[in-house]
Amino acid sequence: MKQTRKKGISRANCEVLDALDPLRDLRARFELPDGAVYLDGNSLGALPRRTAERHGALVREEWGQSLIHSWNKHDWVTLPQRIGGKLARILGASEAEVIVTDSTSVNLFKLLTGALAMPDVKGRRIILSERGNFPSDLYIAEGVIAMGGGKYTLKLVEPGEVEEALNADVAVALITQVDYCSGRLHDMAQLNNCAKNAGTRIVWDLSHSAGAVPLELGRHGAELAVGCGYKYLNGGPGAPAFLYVAKSLQANFETPLSGWFGHQAPFAFEPTYVPAAGIERLLCGTPSVIALGAMECGIDTFEGVAMDAVRKKSLALSELFRALVDQECDEFGFTCITPPDPENRGSHLSFAHKHAYAIMQAIIDRGVIGDFRHPDLMRFGFAPLYVGFVDCWDAVTILREVMLDGAWRADNYHKLNRVT
């Protein structure tokens, strides 16, 4: 290994930061490969140690031995509500306002369609979103518009133009709090206030903020939100998502997916749909019990953890990483596109480089795991429950080595994988 230049920050400095870190012991709650620096928790959270044990018991004992009786004996039937109640603390919501179910896209369809059906936005014809929003969110909005026979129009604006665009023509705004590419963070309280003044509903996508950014959905006036369970919440690949509906909206909120688990009495098997009174009306089909078991373990990794402490460490990690890239890799043409102001970013940094994909593959081969986003972005996520300060040093050290020895130029690093 080539010696990395040390102009200011040293590995010893990072070791001190780890020793002083009040969250350092949380890393023991996760299974992480030896020698790996995992900076992709913004795409897939690490495996909680309890997940394998929980799955083993769920499969062998609850399913294997108790069979169908487990719906009652092990309370499978209330898993979406129970896990939603645990998640509510992380979201700054009440237990009766959050439920874990389906995927982010499905939940987004439910909430967007339901929001458009609310009487107070009747006559408005615009769905507002950002031009660079996560594509699936925009695809869902396009699908809702197509189903409405062209009644609505999707208006896309730049991130800095959202507040100004909230006006009397906008029925619903579909806003992702932390941008998946740039990491830019919206001020939720401010946007909710602007939307309220304009008479617009906001559906928030919290996929890149839940578990990394302190949230106060109730206190900050949020009404509707969705998010995924497999990033900072550590629920496993393709984990169930969650949705939030403020208590004040639930009684009259219409869901377009009127499945039997959303019925007020699912096991009465009535021929006509009557929605449940509360958040349960947002359920649809039979809950995915095994997936929910893993999701609960992911939520439990936050047990006893204050989200303000998570945020403080998140910002410290990203500040350190940015400073190390400036210190060690300034001559290699990396441009950080994430806002420099800590108050305006989430928990990942994105660096633009014309050879971003190949460079990322080269450092992954050396144990530094980040990811790539088209066309030229390298993303590094900082999940404070298991990422340490020495991890930042080691990652940037390897990045510098790959640039110095030209390893990224190898042909195999330029061939795009199906998943990037």
Close Cβ partners of 56 (under 8 Å, ≥ 6 residues apart)? none
Structure tokens at 207: 């996929």
Structure-token match 């020793």, residue found = 19
Close Cβ partners of 157 (under 8 Å, ≥ 6 residues apart)? 128, 129, 130, 131, 165
Asked whether the beta carbons of 201 and 171 are under 8 A apart, the reply is yes
Distance separating alpha carbons of residues 320 and 347, to the nearest angstrom: 12
Nearest residue to 284 (alpha-carbon basis) of 250, 258, 310: 258
Q: In what order do the strands lie in the sheet with 126-130?
A: 98-100, 242-245, 224-227, 201-205, 170-176, 126-130, 153-157
Identify residue 152 by its one-letter amino acid code.
Y
Structure-token match 């390298």, residue found = 378
* Residues annotated catalytic, as ranges: 134, 205, 230-231, 379
Would the CA dihedral through 203, 315, 218, 297 be positive or negative? positive
Q: In what order do the strands lie in the sheet with 335-336?
A: 335-336, 348-352, 377-381, 371-373
